[in-house]
């Protein structure tokens, strides 16, 4: 029985093991605490299962506030899980609330969600910063473009079911060794379900578009995700540089730069060490600047960015030294070899 006061303690004092009631059957399940926690919850593993994990709220107020949103997510999950396509996505790419957990007093304590193994994965932050010494081939252009496309395609699918990510924090996005992209914490995202909008819980200001800088969560939309996602794509391909980095005689605040529409594509002074923009190729050089427009209505949908990444992958060549590279510089991006040849890409799941 779960008879003590869950919210009478700090997260550090939460019990190592708890027993809660799982809806809708209200049967008891045993949970064991992990070392993982976020801003509003602590993660517990479900006894007898390696495919489910629980998020228990640290505060009763948080649980009460999010109860309607969690209920909507669970209902959405139950609809989606009937499709094989979404089963694969839940197994590989996103975590979503799938069952509510209650105390003995029938108060929402948290929820169960699908577990995705991340032991051999690295965060998008580390991928962007090229901290992947265990995966030597991850430096070639195929892997960078492949990961960028997988990342964009997952966000596209979330948009299709009424979810706006909003907080595209690269610390909460992971790349598995097979190139699959994992996005955690669906419950913190904005959900539109049955005509009701459940707002997002967090915004990463570092990659926020003008409308979010100005209006906060009220400015969030599919097109704000386009802006933030395009920043990550650019950084993946351009050795971690931001599209808002360039040489300037007058230091400017980052938000000021974004609000005025300045970016690397309309500024003639690139920062030292930036790879040549020509390496991006014609498709990305067309779509990325439009993704960074100040006016969200002028930004394309992510379909265009995904298509640009796809055609750039098809253009890839291999040099005499086995490096996969873009052909737009007329030489290998990695070693400078000018003997570039096409190669078979049909084996890849694009």
Residue 155 pLDDT level (bands cut at 50, 70, 90): very high
Tokens, residue 272: 């030292």
DSSP, collapsed to helix, strand or coil, labels residue 34 as: strand
Nearest to 109 by CA among 193, 252, 183, 8: 8
Q: What's the half-sphere exposure (Cβ side, CA atoms, 13 Å) at 299?
A: 25
State residue 7's pLDDT score.
54
Residue 18 has pLDDT above 90, yes or no: no
CATH of domain 6-114: 3.30.200
Residue 251 has pLDDT above 90, yes or no: no
Q: Which CATH superfamily is domain 122-311 in?
A: Transferase(Phosphotransferase) domain 1 (1.10.510.10)
Q: What's the half-sphere exposure (Cβ side, CA atoms, 13 Å) at 42?
A: 22
Q: What is the mean pLDDT of residues 218-241?
A: 96
Residue 12 has pLDDT above 70, yes or no: no
State residue 19's pLDDT score.
86
Nearest to 228 by CA among 160, 162, 305: 305
What is the 3 state secondary structure string of 263-314?
Answer: CCCCCCCCCCCCCCHHHHHHHHHHHHHHHCCCCHHHCCCHHHHHHHHHHHHH
Residue 3 pLDDT level (bands cut at 50, 70, 90): very low
Residue 314 pLDDT level (bands cut at 50, 70, 90): very high
Chain segment 173-225, per-residue pLDDT in tens:
999 988 899 998 899 999 999 999 999 987 777 789 999 999 998 999 999 99
Q: What is the pTM of this model?
A: 0.91
State residue 333's pLDDT score.
87
More confident residue, 27 or 36: 27
Give the sign of the dihedral formed by CA 149, CA 151, CA 154, CA 159. negative
More confident residue, 290 or 346: 290
Distance (Å, whole) CA 71 – CA 114:
16
Residue 139 pLDDT level (bands cut at 50, 70, 90): low
State residue 2's pLDDT score.
40
DSSP, collapsed to helix, strand or coil, labels residue 258 as: helix
Q: Which residue has the tokens 């506030």?
A: 65
* CB contact set of 291 (below 8 Å; sequence gap of 6+): 226, 227, 229, 230, 299, 300, 305
Mean residue pLDDT of the chain comes to 89
Residue 126 near residue 173 (C-beta atoms within 8 A): no
Distance (Å, whole) CA 267 – CA 313:
27
State residue 225's pLDDT score.
97
Chain segment 258-277, per-residue pLDDT in tens:
999 999 999 878 999 999 99
Task: Please count the other Cβ atoms lying within 10 Å of the Cβ belonging to residue 44.
Answer: 27
The residue ranges of every structural domain in the chain are: 6-114, 122-311
More confident residue, 33 or 330: 330
Distance (Å, whole) CA 178 – CA 145:
13
State residue 87's pLDDT score.
92
State residue 11's pLDDT score.
46
Q: Do domains 6-114 and 122-311 have the same CATH topology?
A: no
State residue 40's pLDDT score.
82
Tokens, residue 283: 């498709």
DSSP state of 120: T
Least confident span in 7-11, 32-36, 97-101, 256-260: 7-11
Residue 122 has pLDDT above 50, yes or no: yes
Chain segment 32-85, per-residue pLDDT in tens:
888 877 778 889 988 888 889 999 998 888 889 999 999 999 999 999 999 999
Chain segment 276-299, per-residue pLDDT in tens:
999 999 999 999 999 999 999 999
State residue 311's pLDDT score.
97
Distance (Å, whole) CA 158 – CA 173:
14
């Amino acid at each position: 029985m779960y008879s003590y006061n869950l919210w009478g303690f700090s997260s550090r004092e939460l019990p190592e093991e708890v027993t809660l009631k799982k809806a809708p059957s209200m049967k008891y399940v045993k949970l064991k605490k992990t070392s993982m926690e976020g801003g509003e919850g602590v993660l517990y593993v479900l006894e007898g299962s390696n495919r489910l994990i629980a998020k228990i709220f640290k505060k009763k107020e948080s649980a009460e506030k999010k109860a309607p949103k969690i209920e909507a997510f669970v209902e959405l999950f139950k609809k989606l899980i009937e499709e094989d396509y979404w089963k694969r996505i839940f197994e590989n790419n996103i975590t979503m609330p799938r069952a509510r957990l209650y105390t003995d007093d029938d108060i929402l304590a948290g929820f169960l969600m699908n577990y995705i193994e991340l032991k051999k994965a690295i965060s998008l932050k580390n991928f962007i910063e090229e901290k992947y010494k265990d995966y030597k081939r991850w430096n070639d252009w195929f892997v960078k473009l492949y990961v960028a496309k997988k990342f964009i395609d997952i966000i596209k699918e979330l948009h299709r079911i009424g979810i706006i990510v909003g907080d595209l924090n690269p610390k909460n996005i992971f790349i598995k060794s097979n190139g699959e992209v994992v996005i955690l914490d669906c419950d913190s995202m904005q959900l539109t379900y049955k005509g009701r909008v459940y707002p997002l819980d967090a915004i990463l200001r570092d990659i926020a578009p003008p409308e979010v800088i100005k209006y906060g969560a009220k400015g969030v939309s599919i097109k704000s995700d386009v802006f933030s996602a395009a920043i990550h794509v650019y950084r993946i391909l351009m050795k971690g540089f931001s599209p808002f980095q360039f040489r300037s005689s007058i230091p400017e605040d980052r938000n000021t730069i974004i609000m005025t529409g300045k970016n690397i594509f309309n500024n003639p002074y690139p920062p030292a060490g930036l790879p040549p923009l020509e390496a991006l190729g014609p498709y990305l050089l067309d779509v990325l600047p439009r993704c960074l427009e100040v006016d969200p209505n002028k930004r394309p949908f992510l379909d265009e960015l995904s298509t640009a990444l796809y055609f750039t992958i098809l253009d890839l060549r291999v040099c005499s030294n086995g490096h996969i590279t873009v052909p737009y510089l007329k030489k290998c991006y990695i070693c400078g070899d000018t003997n570039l040849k096409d190669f078979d890409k049909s084996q890849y799941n694009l």
